[in-house]
Amino acid sequence: MKNAINWTVGRRLAAIAAIGAITTILVGAFAISGMHTLQGDTAVVARYEDARTLMHALDTRSSELKVDALKAVAYKDNSKLPNDVTDDTATVDDLMKKLTVLHIPSSKLDMTAFAASWTTYEKKISDFVNGAVANQSAAREHVQDVQAANDQMDQMLGSSITSMEKDAAAERAAVKASRAHTIRMIGILGVLGVAVLWGLSWAITRSLVPPLKACIAALQRLADGEIGHQLPEKSTGCVGLLEKAFNSSIESVRSIVTTPDTAGAETTRSWRPDWGTVTPT
């Protein structure tokens, strides 16, 4: 039965090259897409890690402000402590700006409420220190208010740090899963591409090699003087044309060999005649 796909040898080889190119493009495209996804996920993880670091720094500043308040009622000369409070407050403001730039989702961290809590805490510490500078003895009676405010800030910061750590861990897990998915899909696409390429190569090889071997065998039989053998014309493309050309050549040779000469010679049954024994005269 003749192959329904009438492909030349060039088209068959081009098909193999095309499958290889498509496989390479698909694997490359998926690798690039996966790389962009990983970059985005990694950036999110970095933001949460930075936010957690800033939270720890803010926790330290919270303790520093509490220490400023306690110094205000402990030191005899507390006149310079308002400047220390101003410096610590400026550091907090700088950290808050850095935290805002990270654009942490409001579902993870309500920056408005977070900033308002810090403003309240800073004002309470500043007012306490200024009051201690004016009247240290009266300020000592309200030291517990400073501790209560600091405990409230510690609770808020601790909760925020824990939340940032959980979110960072979740994003790291997402990055790991995304990386595994990308590697898995690249492997699947690569294996499928190789399988299709191998299958197509095998099919094309099967469509070329046996007919060519048959042509070689037929030519060998022709060289041995057998002019009655023809090839089955079941191939397509260049190989099919070769089979037709060979059979046409055989027909031509047969017609030449089997045509009687002008002297009425008998029809030659073989391309290579048997001259018999030559008797000298």
195 lies in some domain: yes
pLDDT at position 265, please? 46
> What is the pLDDT confidence band of residue 97, given thresholds at 50, 70 and 90?
very high
Integer CA distances (angstroms), 210 to 159, 172, 202, in order: 76, 57, 12
pLDDT (mean) for 49-58: 89
Distance CA 91, CA 23 (A): 55
pLDDT (mean) for 224-245: 78
Contact 35, 185 (CB under 8 A): no
Please report how many Cα atoms fall inside a 13 Å half-sphere around the Cα of residue 62, on the Cβ side. Answer: 25
265 lies in some domain: no
Written as six digits, the tokens of 192 are 């499928």
232 is in which domain, residue-wise? 200-258
269 lies in some domain: no
Distance CA 64, CA 82 (A): 13
Question: 171 and 209: one domain?
Answer: no
Question: 137 and 67: one domain?
Answer: yes
271 lies in some domain: no
Residue 230 reports pLDDT greater than 90 = no
Interval 241-278: pLDDT, tens: 888 888 888 888 888 877 655 444 444 444 454 545 54
Total number of domains in the chain? 2
pLDDT at position 1, please? 47
Interval 121-179: pLDDT, tens: 999 999 999 999 999 999 999 999 999 999 999 998 888 888 888 888 888 888 888 88
Backbone Cα Rg of the chain: 46
Question: 25 and 82: one domain?
Answer: yes
Question: 84 and 143: one domain?
Answer: yes
pLDDT at position 135, please? 93
pLDDT at position 260, please? 58
> What is the pLDDT confidence band of residue 120, given thresholds at 50, 70 and 90?
very high
pLDDT (mean) for 100-104: 85
The whole-chain average pLDDT of the chain stands at 81
Q: Any idea what the CATH number is for the domain that residue 131 is in? A: 1.20.120
Determine what percent of the chain is predicted with pLDDT higher than 70. Answer: 88
270 lies in some domain: no
Contact 61, 95 (CB under 8 A): yes
